[in-house]
Structure 1
Amino acid sequence: MKRINSIKLKNFKFFYDEETLKFNKKNILVYGENGSGKSSLYWALYTFLQSSFKDDEGVKKYFDKENSQNLINKFVDDLQKDDAFIELELIDTNLQKTTTYKISKNIINTNKKEDTQIKKANLTSDFINYRLLSKIYDFKNSQDIDLWSFFEDYILDFIVFTESEYENLANFWEYLKKGLEKINNRYPTITSSIYKDFQSQITKFNEKMENLLNEISRNTNKLLQNAFKENIEIKFSYKKATYNDFLPNSKKRNHKTLPPKINIEVTFFDEKIDKPHTFLNEARLTAIALSIRFAILKNRLIRDDVLKILVLDDLLISLDMSKRFEVIDILLNDEDLKEYQKIILTHDRGFFNLMLQKINQFEWKIFEFYNKKENGIEKQCIKEYKDNLTKARELFENQDFDTSANYLRKEAESILKKFLDPNLKYINREFQNLEELIRRVKNELDNEFINKFNRVFKFTKKENEDLIFIYEKELLEKIDTDFENDNNLDPNQKGKLRGLKKKLFDFTKEYYEIKKVELEIFNELKKIKDRVLNPASHNSEAPLFKKEIEEAIELIHRLKEFLKDKKTKREIKPTQVNCSQNREVENSFPNWTSNIVIEPKEIIKNIRNTNS
């Protein structure tokens, strides 16, 4: 598998002087303020891959200060402008072998015939930003959606066409749209072999486009219905490209190739929508556009072992929170997209925090982009993101115990909120305080064991709308007797009781093992809450000691690991507190004990009470 290991930029667009971003083969998440260089990274990667399809002169212009199309940082002096470049280090993760590619005014090694790695990467990678996405539905009310221009500008380059001397549909269309040239000042006649061959090429192009659109619409509808949970179905209506049509109201022909039209037909809850861009809201239109783009990407997949990147820049501006979850789920879990190194750029702090909660941070590198001014010149300021626990550890090493404790509190709150709100529905709302968070998480863990107990010992099926219990009440009463020697029980009943007894044993063992760890963690959390995790206590005369912080860091790490794969099974809303109120949580900590005693008779009593 190929991955970007690092990218080095010098004097390219917003990037001033030289900057190296170490990707370390990982996916990338970037939060960046507007004007911090975030989009410059997007265009650096795009320009780099696109260079594989250009000749040297087509690439050099971006780094030539004399060329009006150059992409050199405007603030660097003339001498520095001669040294602008983009450099990528790729790594083969299987062989652990690196290869460096570079584009600049003097060095270009991305477009050579003997090395097609970047060219193949360009064919299978994709770049999507909000502006590009909106082109799929940004039409006037009086217009029908026609996606031909979108396909011509952004898609055809990447559709490989192996049945022709032209390597992709874009090159094939470039040939066809020129039409036939005159020979001896006359166009070829319709009976000539040149004419017939050209018309057969037009037919081949239309067939290729129709097959492509059918495949895209099939995958689009899958995504809309399965991923976005929308009752929407789309269909492309393809009006074929033609050559040499009759002129209007005339017997003369136009001797031109007319482009096709690609209209979208949308069915919403089984009702056909004539102009979807005037009827559907922007969130649904964005869902359709995203589904089309992802479907196109799936159609472009190259199964070869080449670099595949998916770069997304401020993609979800118009989506509400529920739709953002669905997009994130596609990005993280879609089987086809798992092959891609994802580079996600956003200026939306809420979305950035949402991604932090959802991703496995061992598989991602996370950066924050800011801008700074030095001598009147704006420059990039790039920091590698660190979570609160990492910051707390670093501050602890630097003997800043008070600040370390504050970050530990933030991390504890984040861990507990994630458990209570696993779908992040209330990510922008606050729970009342840390004590409430701890209490509610503890209660939920207890409730989950009660619910699990009921699932194991209650009932399994419905019969004539009545609940049938696995274990009848009379039979349950025999569990704590010598039922093996009870002549009133048949073998089937005794078998049920043996099964129940084993389940009780297994459940009790599991309960003990998990609750022992849980109680240790939460009892320790209770102890350090007021002393270490309370900001007000840091202003007291009693200083925080190194040992206290060291133990707190270890405890928060244990809490994180303990709750890592757990989440509440029901929706837990934050407590609503009137802003004029200033009250403590009514229910403080229960008196938990680390002495776990489970009496089988008490369990049986619970079963009997439940069934009765």
Structure 2
Amino acid sequence: MDWTLEKIELENFKFFNGPFEFPVRGKNVLLYGENGSGKSSIVWGLYTLMESRRKPVADVQKYFNPGDGQHLRNRYCQPGDPANVRTTFTPLIAGAVPKNYEISLANITTQVAADDFMKYTTAAFDMFNYRMLSEWIYQKNSRDIDLFKGFEKDLFKYLYFRRSYIRVDGTSAAPDGTTAEEWWTYIKSVQLPLTKRGQVNRKTDEYSRFMTLLSDFKAEMEYILMQVEHSANDMLHNDLLLPNISLVVDITDVPFNLLKPGCLKYKDGKVHSPSISVKAHVVDGNVPGWSTDIAHLATFFNESKLTCIGIALRLAISDYKLISTGDVSPVLCIDDLLLSLDMSARIPVIKLLLKKAQNRQLLVFTHDRAFFETMRMLICEKREDGRWCFYEMLEKKNTAAGAAPKPWFHPTQTYRDKAEYHFEKGDYPACANYLRKYCEQQLKRLLPQNLQLVQKTNGEVIQADMSGLIGKLASDFCSLYEISIADLPSVSVYRKRLLNPLSHDDSHTPVFKAELTGAVTEIDRLKSIADSLKTICEGVGHHRDEFAMTVSNGAANETIVFDVMEKWTSVEVAGVRYYKDVKIRVISSTTATVAAQDYDSLRGVFNTVSTALGLNIPPATPPAMESTIINRFSGTALTAI
């Protein structure tokens, strides 16, 4: 893409009373906003501007006309106050000038016919939220899913067929007539010759060409749906961790000239909407017969899986209509999408969204603080935070009677930023409180998910507190990576102070101030270790994550080929990189030292091989385990990953 969205401006539009500027700055955006703070008004402002490209002028103007019952003007503004939505796009090509667009009652600049930039940008744009997803995928148990109305309403205008349609008089609609909307609009408008009895005359050339047109429309839609189906299944299997679910997306013939209700002879001469169905094939050892076809998705899948299915379908459609090269600025906007997913299911979706941000701008809006923090953490873990803007949006509390609500909008501060602010203000208890959050955040970034949980005496599994996280760092984490506890930051020294700073009567003394300074230093060291965390592989058994370990002692050697069964990571401490011990599945071995089976410890297998080759008997010494391993798919040494 050669362009990026720079900013969105809204004046007296929906929530916003007066002018408001939302700075995108050519980056991806993650916004946390309370309900009622105006975040969705930003989304709908951008959506309304993009949709205005293909709407009649009157249908755009009504949103800004105070006399129209469907207007979207802010309810607190005066009838004569200006109301508009504006966008600015900036070029990535040297010498090009920014492009500005506006929609208002008096000015609509998105509809210039020769403006290919806006034509392709609106086609590449996509936006959906939980409500829109629900309309797509949630149906009563007694009903099949039919997506045709959704396609017709939201997508046909942006789906380009491989060719223009042929009119019933034999002429081509080229160079126009290439979108699904143009095809379908023409199909519904056709009036065929009739017989003397008022029935469609099936002996005419027009009738023959029209039936061919209906068949061609179905064929073009089948071509699109086949690609959508393939892409959606790829996401379900490889990104959303649902490898046993395969979707089947199909379209029926276009019904035409059906019998009139109550008649056995006379037909209506009308075109009826076909159906676009979504069914699923499931392979599951717990299901009798091992596999089954699901026609009514809600009868088999829970809400979490239904949401994943809906997300995969919508992203697949978004990918199909994406234009990412040339004179275009593709934007994908997501607003409160994952309400029905628990955190374990959200993380794969977040990772999938981050993949989509590689070839378009991603704007993610949420009122879920936990989701916001998790996504932000994953972005930072990938070292991609420089490509993102992080914002928070709240509603300012205004007690004046009849006063218009106002947004409190600001870039998100880190816990460390907030701790530093309160330290400079001399509010040491508040500083300590944010340092605790800062410390917990880095511990959660560093520790695998299973090490962040503790089991209570009654068997309940809960999230560990900071004391528990520090304990896991000192024991399990050090053991997994073979790191000496002495090399780690001394955060445990400051644990009691950070856990409950207000319980101390000396919380404003120079001693406490010095302890806070020391705590910052140690937590910063912890952050640098978390920043160094690298993912070697996700451990899903993909052939690209197959490894080989070759250990030699003189002429004797052994090569073990293995898959990794869990997420494999490494960290750097004091300039030395350490590798997590992981569960593996041995595929093959050049000797009988290690059998082809599952093992709980890669390091244990390495030690077994080293012992068998005599490398653990002085004066011989085994090599560093990581120096013996390569990725079999890429040939890359583990130490270079």
Q: TM-score normalised by the shorter chain: which range applies?
A: 0.7 to 0.9
Equivalent residue, structure 2, for 1:278: 299
Alpha-carbon separation, structure 2, partners of 1:89 and 1:399:
42
Equivalent residue, structure 2, for 1:368: 392
Mapped contact 2:133–2:310 kept (Cα < 8 A): yes
Aligned-residue offset at 1:266: 1.7
Residue 311 (structure 1) aligned with residue 333 (structure 2): yes
Equivalent residue, structure 2, for 1:68: 69
Amino acid at match of 2:69: S
TM-score (norm 2): 0.72
Mapped contact 1:180–1:187 kept (Cα < 8 A): no
Equivalent residue, structure 1, for 2:281: 267
Distance 1:4 1:252, change over 3 A: same
Equivalent residue, structure 1, for 2:526: 559
Equivalent residue, structure 2, for 1:535: 501
Amino acid at match of 2:157: D
Aligned counterpart for 1:298 among listed residues 319, 324, 331: 319
Q: Deviations over 1:278-300 (max 9, x none)?
A: 23211121111111111111211
Q: For structure 2, which runs of at least 5 residues remain unmatched after alignment? A: 165-175, 284-290, 455-460, 537-573, 577-609, 623-641
Mapped contact 2:466–2:499 kept (Cα < 8 A): no
**Which secondary structure state, in structure 1, belongs to the residue aligned with residue 14 of structure 2?**
coil
Aligned counterpart for 2:348 among listed residues 319, 323, 326: 326
Alignment of 1:97-112 (within 5 A): 97-112=97-112
Amino acid at match of 1:170: E
Alpha-carbon separation, structure 2, partners of 1:97 and 1:345:
29
Amino acid at match of 1:205: F
Alpha-carbon separation, structure 2, partners of 1:539 and 1:93:
57
Q: Deviations over 1:447-469 (max 9, x none)?
A: 1343xxxxxxxxxxxxxxxxxxx
Amino acid at match of 1:85: N
Alignment of 1:37-436 (within 5 A): 37-80=38-81, 83-95=82-94, 97-161=97-161, 163-164=163-164, 165-180=176-191, 189-230=201-242, 231-247=244-260, 250-269=264-283, 270-305=291-326, 306-334=328-356, 337-360=357-380, 361-374=385-398, 375=400, 376=402, 377-422=404-449, 429-434=462-467, 436=468
Distance 1:606 1:37, change over 3 A: farther
Alpha-carbon separation, structure 2, partners of 1:166 and 1:39:
34
Aligned-residue offset at 1:247: 4.8
Q: Deviations over 1:562-587 (max 9, x none)?
A: 22233899xxxxxxxxxxxxxxxxxx
Distance 1:286 1:449, change over 3 A: closer
Q: Deviations over 1:92-138 (max 9, x none)?
A: 23438532222222222222123232331221121111111112233
- Between 1:192-201 and 1:315-324, the stretch displaced more is 192-201
Mapped contact 1:393–1:553 kept (Cα < 8 A): no
Aligned-residue offset at 1:411: 0.6
Q: Deviations over 1:511-560 (max 9, x none)?
A: 8xxx7xx846624x455556678614764063357766555444433321
**Which secondary structure state, in structure 1, belongs to the residue aligned with residue 206 of structure 2?**
helix
- Between 1:322-331 and 1:223-232, the stretch displaced more is 223-232
Aligned-residue offset at 1:393: 2.8
Aligned-residue offset at 1:399: 4.7
Distance 1:162 1:237, change over 3 A: closer
Equivalent residue, structure 2, for 1:437: 469
- Between 1:306-315 and 1:348-357, the stretch displaced more is 348-357
Mapped contact 2:233–2:246 kept (Cα < 8 A): yes
Alpha-carbon separation, structure 1, partners of 2:408 and 2:230:
44
Mapped contact 1:2–1:90 kept (Cα < 8 A): yes
Q: For structure 1, which runs of at least 5 residues remain unmatched after alignment? A: 451-510, 570-593, 597-602
Aligned-residue offset at 1:46: 0.6
Mapped contact 2:422–2:431 kept (Cα < 8 A): yes
Residue 23 (structure 1) aligned with residue 56 (structure 2): no
Amino acid at match of 2:27: K
Mapped contact 2:218–2:253 kept (Cα < 8 A): yes
Percent identical among aligned pairs is: 31
Alpha-carbon separation, structure 2, partners of 1:414 and 1:19:
32
Q: How many residues align?
A: 509
Alpha-carbon separation, structure 1, partners of 2:513 and 2:125:
50
Mapped contact 1:49–1:122 kept (Cα < 8 A): yes
Alpha-carbon separation, structure 1, partners of 2:347 and 2:77:
41
Mapped contact 1:392–1:553 kept (Cα < 8 A): no
Mapped contact 2:29–2:389 kept (Cα < 8 A): yes
Mapped contact 2:84–2:103 kept (Cα < 8 A): yes
Aligned-residue offset at 1:253: 3.3
Mapped contact 1:181–1:187 kept (Cα < 8 A): no
Greater fraction helix: 1
Alpha-carbon separation, structure 1, partners of 2:369 and 2:525:
28
**Which secondary structure state, in structure 2, belongs to the residue aligned with residue 150 of structure 1?**
helix
Alpha-carbon separation, structure 2, partners of 1:531 and 1:322:
32
Amino acid at match of 1:288: I
Distance 1:295 1:567, change over 3 A: closer
Alpha-carbon separation, structure 2, partners of 1:56 and 1:424:
58
Mapped contact 1:156–1:168 kept (Cα < 8 A): yes
Amino acid at match of 1:29: L
Distance 1:252 1:183, change over 3 A: closer
Alpha-carbon separation, structure 2, partners of 1:24 and 1:547:
39
- Between 1:67-76 and 1:440-449, the stretch displaced more is 440-449
Aligned-residue offset at 1:391: 1.7
Mapped contact 1:244–1:257 kept (Cα < 8 A): yes
